[in-house]
Amino acid sequence: MADDTSDRRSMKEPIGRIDADPALHARLVPLCRLKPGEIWEDPVAGHRVGVLDATDAGAVRRITGGAAPALCIADPPYNVTVGSRRTPALGKISMGDYDRFTHDWLDAILPALAPDASFYAWLGADMANGLHPFPEFCLDMRARADWTARNWVTLRNQRGYGTQANWMWVRQELLYYVRGKPPFHVAADYTDIPKILRGYYKQVAGERTENAERGKGATIRAGNVWVDVQQVFYRLHENVPGCYAQKPLKAIERIITASSDPGAIVIDPFAHSGTTLIAAERTGRRALTFDLDPVFAEIAIRRLERLRATGQPGWQCDHPFPELT
C-alpha cells in the first residue's frame, strides 16, 4: 500500500482568508469582471450573479427582473468574530446595527419571493451576547404575518471549537420558514444511511409489521438534525480556497431539491463561495445570487465555469485566481 503521507502534508490552500487579507483582496479586485451594481447573466442556463447590496430592494428587483423566486437561501454574516479575526465581512458590529441590517435585508428580499415560497436562513448565536442574533432574528420573522416558522435544522460539524471548560461547539443552525403552500419533496429528505434499527412493531391492516417494513425507503430520513453532511475542508473537491464561511454543497442541494421544483428560481443574497449557484446548476434550477464584494461574485462565476469545464464543484487546493500564481 503506497504511503501518501507526503502528499497529505503537501496539500495546502494556496491563499488564506480573502476577507482577512486586505493586500490579497486588493490584488483580486482588478481580476473581477463585475463592478458594484453590475449583474452577469449566464448565457447557458440563465443564472444571474451580481455585485449588489442585500438591503437594497431596488437591487433585488433588478436581479429578479420581475420573476418571483420560489426559494431563498440566505447565509448572512453571523456577527461573531470568526477564527479570532475581526474583518469587514466576518466581524462584529453593535447588536443594534446588526439587527437593523437584518431587518433591512429581510425587508428587501422577502417581498420579492413568490406567494408560495420557502425561506431558509443560516444563523449564528453568540454566547457572549446572550445568543445574539438568533432570538432577534426569530422575533423579526414572527412579526411578519405572512411567514410561518416551519422547522429548525441543526447541521452537525465533524470538527468543532471551544475550551475544555465547556461543551464543544459543533452545530450550525438553519431556520426554515414558509409563505403560502410551497412544495416539499420528501424524497430529498432521505440520506444514504441504511436503516439498521428494527422493531417498533404494530398492527397494520391486521398484520404485525415493524418500522422498516412500514417506511417509504431503505434509508433513514435526515430529519432536522443532519449528521451525514461533511463539513467543507481543504481535501474536498468542492473546497474554495480563501472562502472561510463556505457551506457544504450537499446541504444546499438537499434544501433545493426538497423545497423547490425542477426549473424553479432560487435566490441567495449572500453568494460568498457560490455554493447556491453550483447547487442550482447541478439540480436543474436557476440561481439568482449576489454579494456586496466583487471578489466573491467573481469566485461564484469562476466556480460555475470550472464545474462546466471540468466537472469539479470547487478547487480543492488549486488557486481560484491562477493569474496570481
Instruction: Give pLDDT tens digits along the chain (325 positions).
Output: 444 444 444 567 888 899 889 999 999 999 999 999 999 999 999 999 999 999 999 999 999 999 999 999 999 998 876 655 565 655 688 999 999 999 999 999 999 999 999 999 999 888 888 999 999 999 999 999 999 999 999 998 877 777 788 888 888 999 999 999 999 998 887 887 776 655 556 666 777 766 555 556 678 888 899 988 888 888 889 999 999 889 999 999 999 999 999 999 999 999 999 999 999 999 999 999 999 999 999 999 999 999 999 999 999 989 999 998 7
Partnered with residue 175 across adjacent β-strands are 121, 152
Give the DSSP H or E segment for 303: helix 294-310
* Contact in structure between 47 and 41 (CB atoms under 8 Å): yes
State residue 198's pLDDT score. Answer: 59
Residue 176's pLDDT is: 99
Domains of the chain: 41-183+229-324 (3.40.50.150)
Map grid coordinates 446595527 to a residue: 97
| Three-state SS at 151 | strand
pTM of the complete model = 0.90
